[in-house]
Chains A and B, each alone.
Chain A
């Protein structure tokens, strides 16, 4: 039932009790459905969306474009696996177009990220070229606009 998934995608903290009322279903059914989704790997996890710029954590992120020579039989999978096992790599996509893999990397400083690319990624056999783009400002992520505070601007005219 995709409505349940959509609600959870918007707000992973909704409890089965809340969801059951909102969707007009038994709590037990909701629990079972969530359980199933988790077992089937449809729901992979629950995370908070954090604007690190508002904290004192030193933080940069970058998008690395990689061009790669695919390997016989395994295509891009083998090299992708080697890359995504690094905890610094936050996301990894195989792309159509002028490069092959898009890697999102997080680190404390630009230097740290650059070194990671130079020392860990670039030397891999299959890598033809790398191109690093640092994120300067995150405007919107996962459907949430960053930086905007939730202020209720609705005029409270009496009724």
Chain B
């Protein structure tokens, strides 16, 4: 019998399985659960975008594209980023079309991080950064952002986390799971800490189209930041295209030219069909974004006001489609809270510690659901809160 312990690399072996796997297993075994756990839009991809994908297949567009993606799509991404966020990237050598935002994050980290490098990650955050940094041999340095700071990264926190080994700061805003955003006023002091250093920034802007009340600002638009910033984004959240797995990553040529090597050997190119659909999305999808964003915004107001009125403390999220209420007053851990709520009331939410230890005391609730669905869930949560308050 083969000795698997000699087969599996220590790096892969040591990736910690998600701490809340048990919770999700439990969730899947139960029936009639009202779930508020899903981290993707409930909208189907707008029909004209799907049609463009279908049409490309009918026309026989079934070949690899160039490694960076089709020139048309890169042109369109470049124009889109300029139009919506004032970003300027050359379609020729600064944009790579990727397999979702996930690959964008992966190749960014693999291109920048060497063994021993420290990577600063504000927490709580999406779960992929830490393991990807570790796979690259880097050392994640976690900053616990604080609820009283609206889960924003502060310059003091950043400064105290920087050492001579610091290579990269990951900036995941608008944030999953907290719904926090970083405004231009918030970003400027962060930029100021970084300006005279050789520290790069990976700005994960996958939720950039989903900010409420104000427009998203990319740190790359701040003075002196473009040269050190990699912007990772994609079509999943803005155009409800999660299943297509299509995204992009933008960086100065010196970085992008190295990223393309990682991308071409790992992936070759993003799926051709999806690139054609993405092209249509960017050409004619601004109205779709607007429609879905308004819809999320209404649900956001609805769920925040609902949670507050039943007595759950809830920081006001300004981006993405999550709320992150504070449940620390119930004398339970986040996991106990979520588990009891699931068992007793059949409502599923994600314990905050799934997004890092500092998420303990909170829970993530997704509002990528119909108002009707949210409303039924709120009723059940209310009776739960009453029983345990």
Chain A residues proximal to chain B, CB less than 8 Å: 7, 11, 14, 18, 21-24, 152, 154-159
Contact = CB atoms under 8 A, between A and B. Distances in A.
Interface stretch (B20-28, B90-98, B158-166, B248-256): B20-28
B375 A18 contact: yes
A46 to B, nearest CB: 15
Given A11-B371, A11-B372, A14-B371, A159 B301 contact: no
B350 interface: yes
Interface in B267-282: none
Contact of B39 (A11, A22, A23, A159): A159
B20 to A, nearest CB: 6
Contact of B127 (A14, A21, A158): A158
B372 to A, nearest CB: 7
A11 B242 CA distance: 27
Contacts, number: 49
Contacts of A22: 298-299, 301-302, 371
Given A156-B38, A159-B127, A159-B354, A18 B302 contact: yes
B355 A156 contact: no
A155 B242 CA distance: 10
7 contacts: A21-B305, A22-B371, A152-B42, A156-B24, A157-B39, A158-B127, A159-B18
Nearest to B28: A156
Nearest to B24: A158
A7 to B, nearest CB: 8
Contacts of A14: 371
B339 to A, nearest CB: 15
B42 A158 contact: no
Nearest to B350: A159
Contact of A21 (B42, B176, B302, B364): B302
